[in-house]
Structure 1
Amino acid sequence: MKLAVVGGGSTYTPELIDGFARLQDTLPISELVLIDPAADRLDLVGGLARRIFAKQGHPGKIVTTSDLDAGVEGADAVLLQLRVGGQAARQQDETWPLECGCVGQETTGAGGLAKALRTVPVVLDIAERVRRTNPDAWIIDFTNPVGIVTRALLQAGHKAVGLCNVAIGLQRKFAALLRVTPAEVHLDHVGLNHLTWELGVRLGGPQGDNVLPKLLAEHGDTIADDLRLPRQILDRLGVVPSYYLRYFYAHDEVVRELGTKPSRAAEVAAMERELLAMYGDPALDEKPELLAKRGGAFYSEAAVDLAASLLGNGGSPVQVVNTYNNGTLPFLADDAVIEVPARVDAAGAVPLPVPELDPLYAGLIAHVTAYEDLALEAALRGGRDRVFRALLAHPLVGQYAYADGLTDRLIEHNREHLAWA
C-alpha cells in the first residue's frame, strides 16, 4: 500500500508518522512519500520520519521528493495538508481583519476566506494531477478551510473526503472524563467544518445511552474552560459547541483579546523554528513533546482510521468526516458539505441520520453555508465583487462598510496568490 502526503515538509508531519508507525497493523503501508517544494524542511522531516519508523519496527519505505507527479504516481491515497503562503500568509489572515474590527482567524471570517481563495485553485490543480496519474486514488483533505476545499474537490468529481481533528479530540476528552475507552464514545456531532455542536454523547454506539447531561453536570467547568466559554452557556444550550463557536458567540471579546497579544501565527512560527532544529538532531527518533503544542491533536489516529476504511483495510465503520449532505440536513442543498458521523468504506462516506436541529443551530449552519457557496464561487472565478459578496454574507462581517474595507485588504495582502488580482 502506497500513501503520499502533499505538504510532507510540515513540522506537524512527525505526528502523522508516529500514528502510521504505531497503527501499522491497521494501515500496513509499504511506501510513504512525503512531497513538499521546501527541500530543506523536507530533508529534516524525512530524516526524523525514517528514524521513527525504524524505532517502532515499521518495515515501510519513506521517500521524500519535491516532484508532485512522481510522488503521487501509484498512490492508493493522497493526504493533503498544505498551507499556501506558509505561516507568513497566516500571520496576515490573523491581523488585517482586526483593522476593521472583525475577528482575525485562519479558517473563519475574512482570514478564512483569504485562505480559501489562495488554497482552492492549488488543491484542484494537485487533485487533477493525481487523477491523471492514478484516477482510483482517494484524496483525504486536511487542508483548511476543510469544508470549502472538500466541496471544491467533490464538485470537480474527485474521490475525496474531508477530515478534521475537532471531533476525535472531543471524543478523547470525553472518554477520559467518563473513564471509558474512546471506542465506547459516539458523538452526535453535527454541523459544518469548524461550526459544529455535540448534541449527544452516547456510550456503546449511535443508539447508545446519551450521557451528555451527566457529562455537563459533572464536568461542565472543565469543558467550558477548554472551550473558553462561560459554563452557563453550556448549561443553557445543553450541548457542547466546538471551540470555533467562540468566534461567533463572543466575537467582540475575541477581537479585543486578539488585539492585545501576539498572533497564533507568530507563536506557531517560533515553535516551528524550534521544532526544525530538533528534527535535525540525528539522535531524535520520536516526536518531541513540543509538537503537542503545535495543534492538530489526534490527527494521525483519525487519518489512519479514515485511510484504512477507504482502502478496504478495516478501520472504524463510523467516523466523523466532511462529505456531501445528500439530504442529511433537509434545510441544505444536497451538494453542501457537512461534518457529521458517516459510514465509511471503500465506496466512500455516507452520512448517518442526525437528530433534528434546533433553529438556533440550523439557522447559523444555513447562514455559513450560504457564505461558503459564495466563497467557493469567488475562489473558482475570482473578482472583487465576488469577494465582497462572500464577506457581506459572512455572519462575522455582515455590514457593507466592513465588507468593502476587508475586500480591499484581502486583495492587497494576497495579490501574489490570486491569478485574477
Structure 2
Amino acid sequence: MAEKKRFVVAIAGGASRYTPGILKMLVSEKDRFPLSKVVLYDNEDVRQKRMGKYARVLMSEYYPECEVVDTLDPEEAFTGIDFCFMQIRAGRQEMRRSDEHIALKHGCIGQETCGAGGFAYGMRSIPAVVEIIKNVKKYSPDAFVLNYSNPAAIVAEATKRIFPNDKHVINICDMPVGIMNQYADELGVPRNSIEARYFGLNHFGWFTAVLDKETGHDYLPELKKIFSKPLPDDHFTDMDPSWRETFVFMRKMVSECADYLPNTYLQYYLYPKHMLAGEDPEWTRADQVMAGHEKQVYEMVDEVCETGKIMGTKYGFTEEDLKDDDHATYIVDLACALAFNTHERFLMMVPNEGIIPNLTQGMMVEVPCMVGSNGPEPLNVGEIPAFQKGLLENQYAYEKLTVDANLNGSYIDAWHALTLNRLVNDTDTAKALLDDLIEANKEYWPELK
C-alpha cells in the first residue's frame, strides 16, 4: 500500500493567540491528516519568533516528523504548500478595542463582527486577506485557502468578487460548530453524530433542523423544549463569563423564535438595547481578552520557550487532552474533505445561485455544503419566510456597501453601509462614527473620498 500523502500547511497569522490550539489540533490529527511541514507566517517579527520557538518545542516532542518554519517572507511561507489556514486579525486586539470604544462613545454596540466594530474590522481585513490570498496563488496556485478570519461575511463578499468562481478559496466559521457542540451536549449525544440544516449570512442565521447522521431523526423539537427550561445556577460555570452569558441568553432567543433555532450572534441584531445595556465603556470585550486569554497564552508560550519543553510540565498533553478540542478539529475535517474527496457536509459561505430563490442572487449565504476535492457543493434551502428575508436583505446591503466602500474608496458607500447597520440605524450617528473610525484607522483603511 502506498504511503499516505503528507501535507504542507501554512498558518497565516502564525503569531496569533489561537496558534497553539491549531498546533495541538494538528498533533491530535496526525494519523488522519499527516504533515511533513507546518509554516507560521506573520508580519510581526517579535511575536512570530516567540510563537515559532514554541512551535518547534511542541512539534519536536509530539510530532518530530513534522518540520516547523516561521517566516515573515510570503515566498518562503507559501511556496510548495497544500493548504493555507488563515486566521489573521488586522490591527490586532488594540484596534478591536479602539472600534469598541469609538462605537460606545456614540451610543452603539462595537462588537468585533457586528455593528460599527464589524464594519471597521472588515475595512481593515479586506486588503490584508486579499494580499495573502494573492501571494498563496502566486507561489502555490493549487493550494486551498481555508479562511476563517473575521468578519467572515464581509471578507467572503470581497473574496467572491476578487477571486470569482475560485473553488480553492474557502470561507468558513467555527461558530456554528460551537453551537452544534452545545446542542450535542444538551442532547447527550456524541458531537460528531449530528449535522445541521441552516441558512443565513455568517453570524446571522437560523438552524432549521438538527439531524442524527445515522437515523435522520430531527432533534430540533427536543432542543426547543430543552431551551425553554430555566438553566441551573451551576450550568456553564466552566465557560468564559462572556460566553456563559451568550449561551444563557440563547434560551430567551430560542423561546421567542417560533420555528427555528437562532445563531447566538442574533442577540446583537434582535435585542440591541439589551446588549448595549450590558456594555461597559471602560472594560470592553477586547480589554477582557487582552487581560485574559491573550495574556495567558503568551505567558505560556514564553515559559515553554524558556524551559525548552512541554512534556512533563503543566502544559503537557495526554492522549485525552489531544482528543478534546472539537472546536478546532473542524479545520482538519474540512481539509480532509478537500484532500480525500470525502463529500462530508459543512456549513460554509457560498454565492447564492438559486440556493435560496427569494434572496438576492450572488449573496454570500452560509448554508450546508457537501465538500469534496472540487470544493463546496451547496444543498438547496428553498424559499425562506418574510421575516428572515427582510433581515438578511438589509444585512447583505450593509455588507455589500462595506465592500464597495473598501474596494472603491467611497466615503458615501461607507456612510450608507453604517446607516443600514441595525446596530447604528441613524444617518447622523453613522456619519459621526465614520469620521472617528477614519481617523483611528488611517494606517489600515484605503482613503475614502
Give the TM-score of the pair, scaled to structure 1.
Answer: 0.91
Give the one of 430, 433, 441 matched to 1:403.
430
Give the one of 288, 308, 312 matched to 2:336.
308
Q: Distance in 2 between matches of 1:188 and 1:419?
A: 38
For the 8 Å contact 2:101–2:281, the answer to whether it is kept is: no
Aligned counterpart, 2:321:
none
Give the one of 217, 226, 230 matched to 1:209.
217
Q: Distance in 2 between matches of 1:230 and 1:143?
A: 24
**Cα-to-partner distance string for 1:57-98 (whole Å, 9 max, x where unaligned):** 462111111111210011111121111111110001111111
> After the TM superposition, which residues 7-406 of structure 1 pair with which residues of structure 2 at under 5 Å, given as runs?
7-57=13-63, 59-157=65-163, 158=166, 159-204=168-213, 208-220=216-228, 221-222=230-231, 226-229=246-249, 231-237=251-257, 238-259=259-280, 262-271=283-292, 272-281=294-303, 282-285=308-311, 298-312=326-340, 314=342, 317-354=344-381, 356-406=383-433
Structure 1 unaligned residues grouped into runs of 5+: 290-296
For the 8 Å contact 1:140–1:163, the answer to whether it is kept is: yes
Q: Distance in 2 between matches of 1:65 and 1:284?
A: 23
Secondary structure, aligned partner of 2:35:
coil
Secondary structure, aligned partner of 1:328:
coil
1:95 maps to a residue whose letter is: H
Give the TM-score of the pair, scaled to structure 2.
Answer: 0.86
For residues 122 and 260 of structure 1, do their structure 2 counterparts lie closer, same or farther at Cα, with a shift above 3 Å needed? closer
Q: Distance in 2 between matches of 1:83 and 1:233?
A: 29
Identity across matched positions, percent: 29
What's the CA shift for 1:235?
2.2
What's the CA shift for 1:341?
1.1
Q: Distance in 1 between matches of 2:424 and 2:142?
A: 40
Structure 2 unaligned residues grouped into runs of 5+: 1-6, 237-243, 317-324
2:261 maps to a residue whose letter is: V
What's the CA shift for 1:337?
1.0
Q: Distance in 1 between matches of 2:140 and 2:278?
A: 47
For residues 7 and 231 of structure 1, do their structure 2 counterparts lie closer, same or farther at Cα, with a shift above 3 Å needed? closer
What's the CA shift for 1:54?
3.7
Q: Which moved more, 1:396-405 or 1:215-224?
A: 215-224
**Cα-to-partner distance string for 1:221-277 (whole Å, 9 max, x where unaligned):** 459964342745422314321221111122112112113561111111123233212
**Cα-to-partner distance string for 1:77-122 (whole Å, 9 max, x where unaligned):** 1121111111110001111111222111111111111111111112
**Cα-to-partner distance string for 1:8-37 (whole Å, 9 max, x where unaligned):** 010110111111110112211111100012
Report the aligned-residue RMSD: 2.3
Q: Which moved more, 1:349-358 or 1:361-370?
A: 349-358
**Cα-to-partner distance string for 1:300-331 (whole Å, 9 max, x where unaligned):** 211111112222364x6111112222211213
Q: Distance in 2 between matches of 1:313 and 1:125?
A: 28
Q: Which moved more, 1:160-169 or 1:272-281?
A: 272-281
What's the CA shift for 1:164?
0.8
1:56 maps to a residue whose letter is: Y
Aligned counterpart, 1:292:
none
